């Protein structure tokens, strides 16, 4: 289970997260929606400590970290959190000088200390899983955006994280390439992968989420099942946001 409590984060004088509490059980999918600038990406990045919260608690598996304004997190805790999370970025962030399989092998060899043979074998299985078995030796610039994002998902999976984090995984894609990426994420959800996803794709959110949080100005405005948040909410600000996305 993943849990955060009373999480705060500021950039200078700008308070971006103003006390966030949430829990996610293993095998569940949490979707984060909300207007631009509401703190969605910052919250997501706190889960793998790409941003260090100023205050609050993060619990991921056996690792519990209390933040108290200190910038340095104990190395062991940082490693544990990084090893248990996989991140998929909006702009894929593949290493441009490495092939698809090279990208997927990298973390397995350097972080997990797997042999190159083992890393390659697992990488090929993952490429097949995301429908790219024939692209192992292609470089990122030889792949479409949708294919690059699927390689990025395979890479994030390769280190066997307990939770996969997605930061607007389809928003850099041409519309015709969105479906192939969402299909892979839906498949992972069906297999019971624990995921936290920031997205603007409301229909996808409704389909894939077990739990939805709608953020606004650094707080959770409403949270609940997709039905409760996307259809039944009576919160005026939430309704205003949802109408804009229709």
CA gap 38, 10 in Å, rounded: 12
| Site residue total, ligand ADP (CB under 6 A) | 11
Is 60:86 a contact under the CB 8 Å cutoff? no
CA gap 85, 123 in Å, rounded: 18
Block residue for tokens 């041409």: 174
The stretch among 32-40, 53-61, 104-112, 175-183 that binds ligand ADP (CB under 6 A) is 32-40
CA gap 202, 244 in Å, rounded: 11
* Contact between 39 and ligand ADP per CB under 6 A: yes
The number of angstroms, rounded, from the C-alpha of 126 to the middle of its chain's C-alpha atoms is 18
Choose between 39 and 107: whose C-beta lies nearer to ligand ADP. Answer: 39
DSSP string, 208-231: H-SEEEEEETTEEEEEE-HIIIII
Site string for ligand ADP, 42-81 (x = CB under 6 A): x---------------------------------------
The stretch among 40-48, 92-100, 112-120, 152-160 that binds ligand ADP (CB under 6 A) is 40-48
* Contact between 7 and ligand ADP per CB under 6 A: no
* Contact between 16 and ligand ADP per CB under 6 A: yes
* Contact between 11 and ligand ADP per CB under 6 A: yes
The stretch among 34-42, 56-64, 71-79, 143-151 that binds ligand ADP (CB under 6 A) is 34-42
The stretch among 33-41, 61-69, 146-154, 184-192 that binds ligand ADP (CB under 6 A) is 33-41
The number of angstroms, rounded, from the C-alpha of 127 to the middle of its chain's C-alpha atoms is 19
Helix axis angle, 100-110 to 116-129, nearest 10°: 130
Which tokens is 196 given?
A: 């936290």
Residues forming the site for ligand ADP (CB under 6 A): 11, 14, 16, 34, 36-42
């Amino acid at each position: 289970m993943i849990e955060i409590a009373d999480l705060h984060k500021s950039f200078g004088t700008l308070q971006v997260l103003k006390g966030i509490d949430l829990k996610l059980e293993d095998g569940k999918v949490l979707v984060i929606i909300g207007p631009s600038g509401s703190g969605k990406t910052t919250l997501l990045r706190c889960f793998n400590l790409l941003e260090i919260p100023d205050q609050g608690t993060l619990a991921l598996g056996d690792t519990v970290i209390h933040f108290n304004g200190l910038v340095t997190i104990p190395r062991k805790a940082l490693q544990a959190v990084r090893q248990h999370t996989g991140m998929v970025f909006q702009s894929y962030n593949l290493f441009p000088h490495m092939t698809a399989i090279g990208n997927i092998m990298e973390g397995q060899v350097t972080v997990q200390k797997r042999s190159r043979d083992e890393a390659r074998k697992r990488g090929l299985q993952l490429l097949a899983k995301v429908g790219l078995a024939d692209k192992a030796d292609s470089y990122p610039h030889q792949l479409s955006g949708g294919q690059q994002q699927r390689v990025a998902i395979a890479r994030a999976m390769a280190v066997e994280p307990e939770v996969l984090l997605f930061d607007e995984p389809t928003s850099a894609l041409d519309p015709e390439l969105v479906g192939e990426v969402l299909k892979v994420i839906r498949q992972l959800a069906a297999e019971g992968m624990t995921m936290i996803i920031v997205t603007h794709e409301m229909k996808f959110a409704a389909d894939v989420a077990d739990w939805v949080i709608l953020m606004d100005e650094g707080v959770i405005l409403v949270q609940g099942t997709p039905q409760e948040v996307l259809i039944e909410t009576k919160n005026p600000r939430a309704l205003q946001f949802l109408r804009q996305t229709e």
